[in-house]
Amino acid sequence: MDQQALTLIDQETLDLFELFDWWQPARLAEQTTLSPDRAKYLTRLRKEFNKLATGKGNFLTETQVDIATTFYKGLRAQEYKELRKLLPGKIGGQRFRYVDLFAGIGGIGKPFADIGGQCVLTCEWDEYARKTYRANWALGPHHRFVSDIKSISQPLDKRGNKLKATCQANYIRKHMPDHDVLLAGFPCQPFSIAGVSKKNALNRAHGFDCEDQGQLFFDICRILSVKQPPIAVLENVKNLKSHNKGTTFQVIQEMLTHLPEHQKTLFGSKINKGAQAYWIANLDEDKPDPKVIDGQHFLPQHRERIVLVCIRQDIVEQLNLATAIDLRKLQTPEKPLTLKDVLDPNKSVNEKYTLTPKLWKYLEDYAKKHKAKGNGFGYGMVRHSSKDVARTLSARYYKDGSEILINQDNIKKRPRRLTPEECARLMGFVRKGETFHIPVSDTRAYKQFGNSVVVPVFAAVANLLEPHIDNIRKNY
C-alpha cells in the first residue's frame, strides 16, 4: 500500500469525509462554495467508501484508502476551509456518564454535557434526526449510537424469540453501558392532545396501547431495573398527566416508585433482588405543578412539558435529597429572550419562506370559518415585538406554518414561516451569532425542532442537579 497515501489520511481528513454521511448535498451547496454537482459527487464517493467498511473499528481497506486519498487530493483549499467549519463541536467532559435515549437532535443531552457529562450511548430511531445530532455534537470514541432501544432492552435470540428473564437482564447489563444519569424524552405522540385526536380519528390505539411508541416507557423501566443509575430525567407532553383520565400517569408513577415490585411484569420473573425504586421530585404537588415547565419562562414560546426528575430511593434517603432537589427552585432568567432576539429582519429572509397567496387565503378563510363558529382555531401571528410569545412549534409546522406566522407588514408582504435557523433559536439550541448545523431539508428540520425540547429548560434542570452529582456518584 502507498505509504504516502496512508500519511495523507489523517483523522481530520476522515472527519471531513464523514460530513458527507450527514449533510444532504443541497445543504452542503448552500453552506459552502461546493456546486450541487460536486456535492453530489463527493457524497457518492463517500457511499462507495462506506460500502467497503469491514466493521473492524478504524481499519481501512486498501480501496478505502484510495478513495479517501482521492477525496483529500481533490479538495480545493477553500473547500477544505469551509468543510472544517462544518465539523461538529466537541462537548462534554468526564465528570459523570449519561445515556441519551429517544434523543431527537440532542436537546436534553447537550445541557448535561455542558455540566461535565460524558455521553456513552445515544438512542434515536429517526435516521435524519441522527444526522442532525451527529452534525452538531462530537462525542468521541467512547460513544455509540443505537436506533432501536428494544435491541438492548428486549433482545431476540437467533430464532427471533424473546430471551428469558435472566438472559434478558444479563443482555441489558452487558450491552447498556454503565451510566450515572439516564435521560429519556420518550415518544410523546401517543399521549399528546394532537396525537390522541389523530389516532382516535384513525381508530388507532394511543397511550400504552400504542405498541410502537406508547410502551417504550416500560423499556426505560427495564433498563432502570437492571442498571440502576442513580439519576433519571424523563420528559413528555403536559397531557401525559391527564391522558386516559389520569390512569397513564398513575401507572408511570407506580412503576417508578415501586420498581422492584414490577419486575415480573417487565421481565416475567424477578431479576434483581437488590433493585431500588425511584423517588420523583415534587411528585405530590399539583396546583401549580412544578413538574410542568413552560418554555416561555426562558424563550418567547409557550411550550409546556412535564419533567420527572427521579433519584434512586436509597440515595435520596442516605443523602437527604428530598428537600434539596426541588423543581420550585429551578432558576429562570430575569429577562427571557424575546422574539427580537430570535427573528431575523424580514427583508433578509429568503422569499421561499413567505406564504403563497393561495395558502395565505386558505388560512385566512379557515380562521374566519372557525371564528364564526366560536372556535379558537386558526393561525398564530407574531411580530418582531418584545411582548409577543409564539404558540408551540409542532412537528407539523412544515405543512403550513400556521401556528407561528411572522407578520411582514413592514415590507408589505404576506406573512412568512420561521426559517429553520430561527427555529433553532426559538428552541434554545443557539443564540443569534451562533451556528446550529442543519444538514437536512427544511421539512425534516421543522419536524426535528417541533419534536425537540426547549434546551434552556433542561439546562436549568441540569444546573439544579449539578451541585449534588459528585456526592451522589460517591454514594451509590
Please indicate, yes or no, whether residues 236 and 300 belong to a single structural domain of this protein: yes
Please indicate, yes or no, whether residues 223 and 321 belong to a single structural domain of this protein: yes
Which one of 87, 104, 124 terminates a domain?
A: 87
Q: What pLDDT does residue 142 have?
A: 87
Q: What pLDDT does residue 407 have?
A: 96
Please indicate, yes or no, whether residues 81 and 113 belong to a single structural domain of this protein: no
Instruction: Please state the domain count of the chain.
Output: 3
Please indicate, yes or no, whether residues 395 and 425 belong to a single structural domain of this protein: yes
The CATH number assigned to the domain holding 110 equals 3.40.50.150
The CA angle 272-273-277, to the nearest 5 degrees, is 80
Please indicate, yes or no, whether residues 323 and 344 belong to a single structural domain of this protein: no
Q: What pLDDT does residue 339 have?
A: 95
Alpha helices in 118-273 (DSSP H): 127-136, 150-153, 165-175, 193-201, 216-227, 247-257, 263-267
DSSP label of 73: H
Please indicate, yes or no, whether residues 291 and 382 belong to a single structural domain of this protein: no
Please indicate, yes or no, whether residues 16 and 51 belong to a single structural domain of this protein: yes
Please indicate, yes or no, whether residues 302 and 376 belong to a single structural domain of this protein: no
> Which amino acid is it at 56?
K
Please indicate, yes or no, whether residues 400 and 461 belong to a single structural domain of this protein: no
Q: What pLDDT does residue 58 have?
A: 67
The CATH number assigned to the domain holding 436 equals 3.90.120.30
Q: Exposure pattern of 128-150 as b/e (b: 16+ CB <10 Å)?
A: bbbbbbbbbbebeeebeebeebb
Per-residue pLDDT tens digits of the chain, which is 476 residues long: 344 444 556 888 899 999 999 999 999 999 999 999 999 999 999 999 999 987 766 678 899 999 999 999 999 999 999 999 999 999 999 999 999 999 999 999 999 999 999 999 999 999 999 999 999 999 888 899 999 999 999 999 999 999 999 999 999 999 999 999 999 998 755 444 444 344 344 344 433 443 444 589 999 999 999 999 999 999 998 988 887 888 889 999 999 999 999 999 999 999 988 999 999 999 999 889 999 999 999 999 999 999 999 999 999 999 999 999 999 999 999 988 999 999 999 999 999 999 999 999 999 999 998 888 777 778 999 998 778 999 999 999 999 999 999 999 999 999 999 999 999 999 999 999 999 999 999 999 999 999 999 999 999 999 999 999 999 998 77
Is residue 434 classed exposed, middle or buried when 0-12, 13-18 and 19+ CB atoms within 10 A define those classes? Answer: exposed
SS3 (DSSP) at 189: coil
Q: What pLDDT does residue 196 have?
A: 39
Please indicate, yes or no, whether residues 134 and 38 belong to a single structural domain of this protein: no
Bridge partner list, 223: none
Query: Catalytic residue positions?
Result: 188
Domain that holds residue 63: 3-87
Q: What pLDDT does residue 101 have?
A: 97
Please indicate, yes or no, whether residues 224 and 158 belong to a single structural domain of this protein: yes
Which one of 87, 114, 139 terminates a domain?
A: 87
Rounded Cα–Cα distance for residues 61 and 475 (Å) = 47
Please indicate, yes or no, whether residues 214 and 318 belong to a single structural domain of this protein: yes
